[in-house]
């Protein structure tokens, strides 16, 4: 499984990697901002994207909007400290599978991925 981890914090990317279930521990690609995420998605396909909301240059909401037009759009789980109902509503309306609070709880992430059909 190819997973794209998008977060401007190296520590948060490390925590995201640790939260991934074993079935997702294939090829992990890390980028530190939304523009890099968009470029990576244009250049290659991914089976899953873990996306932060608050980043420089292009935030997570902008990434979710921009990938709508891509031919191969990965399933996206937003991992954010902003877990307000409006944030969750907005990311879901932009096509994310769900929002997991940071630092991600491995069992919560696994449950979301199984529920969404990303992991069978």
pLDDT tens figures, 50-89? 999 999 889 999 999 999 989 889 999 999 987 889 999 9
Domain presence at residue 84 = yes
What is the extent of the structural domain holding 14?
A: 2-113
pLDDT tens figures, 92-102? 999 999 999 99
Domain presence at residue 69 = yes
Domain presence at residue 120 = no
Domain presence at residue 62 = yes
Indicate whether this model's pTM tops 0.85: yes
Report, as an integer, the average pLDDT of 40-57: 94
Q: What is the pLDDT of residue 9?
A: 96
Report the percentage of the chain scoring pLDDT > 90. 82
- The number of folded domains in the chain is 1
Q: Residue 120 pLDDT more than 80?
A: no
Domain presence at residue 119 = no
Is the distance from CB of 61 to CB of 53 less than 8 angstroms?
A: yes
> How far apart are the C-alpha atoms of 100 and 19, rounded to whole Å?
11
Rounded to 5 degrees, what angle do the CA atoms 81, 65, 69 make?
A: 145
CATH number (domain holding residue 88): 3.40.50.2300
């Amino acid at each position: 499984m190819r997973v794209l981890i998008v977060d401007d914090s190296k520590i948060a990317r490390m925590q995201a990697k640790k939260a991934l279930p074993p079935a997702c521990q294939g090829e992990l690609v890390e980028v530190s901002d939304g523009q890099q995420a968009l470029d990576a998605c244009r250049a290659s396909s991914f089976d899953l994207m873990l996306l932060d909301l608050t980043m420089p240059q292009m935030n997570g909401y902008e990434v979710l909007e921009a990938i709508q037009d891509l031919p191969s759009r990965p399933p996206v789980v937003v991992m954010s400290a902003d877990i307000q109902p409006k944030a969750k509503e907005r990311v879901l309306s932009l096509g994310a599978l769900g929002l997991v609070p940071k630092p991600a709880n491995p069992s919560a992430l696994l449950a979301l991925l199984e529920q969404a059909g990303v992991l069978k």
